[in-house]
């Protein structure tokens, strides 16, 4: 099963809410929440600020809406994503985009900010992978002793950041606004309400930890279309 999403905040607050709560979260604040709209719209678009790997000319574009603090996303990342990369992304058949859909607004926003500060391409995806593999050290669901300290430690391990640099990255208002914009589009265009959810060539897939055999069959079916 996938991680369900909570109720969406009003659009007037949405563009600034993550920036306001990133540090409040670390001092007894609460995370943000989102919810789905009624009807998904067809098609897809690639954002200039997307983090992606593979060939932009690939016949199949896979957009994953995931959350760094989502354990189901971590399982999907460990089980199916490496095989998808080796079989389809690295061979030029699939262009893979990862977009953060913040189920745990403040902490997902902070984690994504750190990953983006680390870099793009494989550097970004390596950071996301380290976040997934070490959720117990920073994800509130696992009750770590100090979420902020855990994220700072991940930044040091994955990207060699010191605490000052990590704190500056996590406080970036522009990043918070971008995450809210991406999440708003996800709910309005695709009715995303859980993570991970894949959108393949504009077609929304059933959310959850898709087994590799199922994902492979789905990708092959898209590749076979003329």
Report the CATH number at residue 154.
3.40.30.10
Contact yes or no for 195/72 (Cβ under 8 A): yes
Contact yes or no for 176/109 (Cβ under 8 A): yes
Name the one residue in this structure whose structure tokens are 């699939």: 94
Q: How far apart are CA 162 and CA 157, in angstroms?
A: 10
| Inter-residue long-range contacts of 209-217, CB under 8 Å, 24+ positions, other chains counted | 209/2, 209/72, 209/75, 209/76, 209/79, 209/80, 210/76, 210/80, 211/79, 211/80, 212/79, 212/80, 212/83, 212/84, 215/80, 215/84, 216/83, 216/84, 216/87
Per the structure, how many domains does the chain have?
1
The C-alpha R_g of the chain, in whole angstroms, comes to 17
The boundaries of the domain holding residue 152 are 3-223
* Distance of alpha carbon 210 from the chain centroid: 16
Task: Give the residue-averaged pLDDT of 222-226.
Answer: 90
Show Cβ contacts of residue 47 under 8 Å, excluding neighbours closer than 6 positions.
182
Residue 162 pLDDT greater than 80, yes or no? yes
The single-letter DSSP state of residue 183 is H
Report pLDDT for 105.
87
> What is the average pLDDT value for the chain, to the nearest integer?
86
Residue 6 pLDDT greater than 70, yes or no? no
Show Cβ contacts of residue 17 under 8 Å, excluding neighbours closer than 6 positions.
9, 32, 105, 176, 180
- SS3 label, residue 65: strand
| pTM score of the predicted model | 0.83
Task: Give the residue-averaged pLDDT of 139-159.
Answer: 97
62-95 burial string, b = 16+ CB within 10 Å, else e?
bbbbbbbbbbbbbebbeebbeebbebbbeeebbb
Of residues 13 and 163, the one with the higher pLDDT is 163
Residue 222 pLDDT greater than 60, yes or no? yes
- SS3 label, residue 96: strand
Length of the chain: 226
Residue 22 pLDDT greater than 60, yes or no? no
Task: Please state, as a whole number, how many other Cβ atoms lie within 10 Å of the Cβ of residue 44.
Answer: 17
């Amino acid at each position: 099963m996938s991680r369900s999403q909570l109720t969406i905040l009003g659009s007037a607050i949405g563009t600034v809410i993550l920036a306001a709560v990133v540090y409040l979260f670390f001092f007894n604040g609460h995370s943000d929440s989102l919810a789905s709209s009624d009807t998904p719209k067809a098609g897809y678009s690639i954002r200039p600020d997307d983090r992606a790997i593979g060939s932009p000319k690939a016949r199949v574009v896979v957009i994953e809406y995931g959350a760094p603090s989502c354990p189901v996303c971590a399982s999907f990342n460990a089980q199916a994503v490496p095989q998808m990369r080796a079989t389809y992304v690295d061979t030029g058949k699939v262009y893979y985009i990862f977009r953060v859909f913040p189920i745990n607004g403040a902490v997902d926003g902070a984690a994504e900010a750190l990953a983006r500060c680390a870099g793009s391409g494989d550097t970004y995806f390596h950071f996301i992978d380290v976040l997934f593999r070490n959720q117990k050290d920073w994800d509130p669901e696992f009750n770590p002793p100090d979420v902020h300290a855990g994220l700072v430690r991940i930044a040091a391990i994955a990207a060699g950041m010191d605490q000052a640099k990590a704190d500056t990255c996590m406080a970036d208002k522009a990043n918070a606004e971008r995450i809210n914009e991406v999440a708003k589009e996800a709910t309005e265009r695709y009715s995303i309400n859980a993570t991970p959810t894949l959108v393949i060539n504009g077609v929304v897939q059933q959310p959850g930890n898709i087994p590799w055999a199922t994902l492979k069959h789905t990708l092959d079916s898209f590749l076979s279309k003329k």
